[in-house]
Amino acid sequence: MNTLPAELVDLVIYELQDDRYSLRSCSLVCKSWAPRPSAHLFKSLRARFNIGTAGQPDLWKTPFYEFCGLIATSPRVSTHIQNLTMSIRTSSVADVATIALQLPHLRSLSVSSGMTSTSPPTDALPCSGRHIEHLDVGYVRADVVPYFLGLFSSVGTLEVSTCVMNWSMPPARSQRKYLVRNFCASHIPGDTLRYVTALLEPSRLESADVSMSPALRTIEPNDLIGLLLVAGPTTRHLKITLADRLWVPSDALSDSLQAFPRLESFTVRTNYHCIESDWWRGLLAFLPALPQHIRVVRIVICDYWAFALRDALYGLEWSAVGGALEHCTGLECLRVAVECYDPPPISVLEDSELQEVIVAALPSRLRSKIVFEY
């Protein structure tokens, strides 16, 4: 392939840019890529360095540090990387951060260790002064999050998942705030949500998405209130996934939501096993707290089995939804969606009889605004 015209090589790589297996094969037979095909070949890079055995726990070190050396010494590769996904070992957090700083066009960084005991280095690296579109940090100790946030001047979307606080962690100190536009948290306990929320610059969030894990039932109303206070008047979209238990917001939550002058859409989603939980009362507690100018409300109801989900939808008091949204004079659309894993996939809401039951229970002003998502 080294003898082929650059235009032809460019065309081949462009056509294969979404086929990682073919790209891998191409990379093994051609060592001198022209600039344009190199941009396609190295645009997204996924590297895994958390493999070891009982007899060889440090098996990952040699390939990892070879990779670090490649990034440091080969601008032919590093200048083209825009999306980097790395699965790391506990001792390589600083090295991953150093790699990120050596990628001038990095737009997305995803870091996961698979070990929640991972702790950050004691010395912070200098900020790159660059914006990053997406930062995803998972399966690490919570205090690793600000270490990676500190590498960038601002973050488009911050995703934090399965990060926990460690009992040996020192108490949170006064530290800099980080500019984040969109925040997504899933499968984290309340103390982690409070910790990460405290890192965010107030009144800068445009959207927030918080998923309460059924296994981590420690997120309380005050934890969410802390996030809402940080979000402030700039938030336009809010999504809450309820845990499978009764979760009723406090009066302070209602006051917080009323203070969102730009809030356009609110999504409330149940977790699975909706039949076995008293989530409906928790859901209805959110709706009266919404500001009257809200434009879109989306209710997503989940269960593992379609037959159970259909029965549940028939039994719900949909008239209570209308009452809870009576004050929302700016409401333009009420969306109802379902999720289930019942094979073969069927759409519960395609049942015309069920649709009629739901619509009939709503007040007349909402009947023309309801949309069923299949």
Decide if 109 contacts 158 (C-beta within 8 A): no
Under CATH, which architecture does the 34-296+324-337 domain have?
Alpha-Beta Horseshoe (3.80)
Q: Within 13 Å of residue 98, how many CA atoms lie on the same side as its CB?
A: 15
354 SS3 class: helix
Q: What's the rounded mean pLDDT across residues 285-295?
A: 90
Q: Which residue type is seen at 240? A: I
Residue ranges of the chain assigned to CATH 3.80.10: 34-296+324-337
User: Rounded to an integer, what distance in angstroms lies between the CA atom of residue 60 and that of residue 50?
Assistant: 6
Q: Which two tokens stand for residue 75?
A: 């601008």
Q: What is the pLDDT of residues 76-102, one digit of tens each?
A: 788 888 999 988 765 667 888 888 999
Residue with token string 């809030």: 263
Q: How confident is the model at residue 191 (pLDDT cuts 50, 70, 90)?
A: confident
Mean pLDDT in the chain?
A: 79
Sheet of strand 83-87, all strands in order from the earlier edge strand to the far edge:
44-48, 83-87, 108-112, 131-138, 154-161, 180-186, 207-211, 237-241, 265-269, 296-302, 333-339, 370-373
Decide if 123 contacts 97 (C-beta within 8 A): no
Would you say residue 1 has pLDDT above 50?
no
CB neighbourhood size of 168 (10 A): 8
Q: Which residue type is seen at 153? A: S
pTM of the model: 0.83
- Bigger pLDDT: 76 vs 343: 76
Q: What's the rounded mean pLDDT across residues 205-215?
A: 81
Q: How confident is the model at residue 363 (pLDDT cuts 50, 70, 90)?
A: very high
Task: Enumerate residues 6+ apart whose C-beta is below 8 A from 70.
Answer: 77
Q: What is the pLDDT of residues 121-171, one digit of tens each?
A: 666 677 888 999 999 998 888 888 888 999 999 999 999 988 776 655 554
CB neighbourhood size of 350 (10 A): 10
Q: What's the rounded mean pLDDT across residues 242-254?
A: 62
Decide if 318 contacts 362 (C-beta within 8 A): yes
User: Rounded to an integer, what distance in angstroms lies between the CA atom of residue 336 and that of residue 327?
Assistant: 19
Distance of CA 364 to the CA centre of its chain: 36
CA distances from 277 to 114, 198, 245, 303, 338 (A): 30, 31, 5, 11, 16
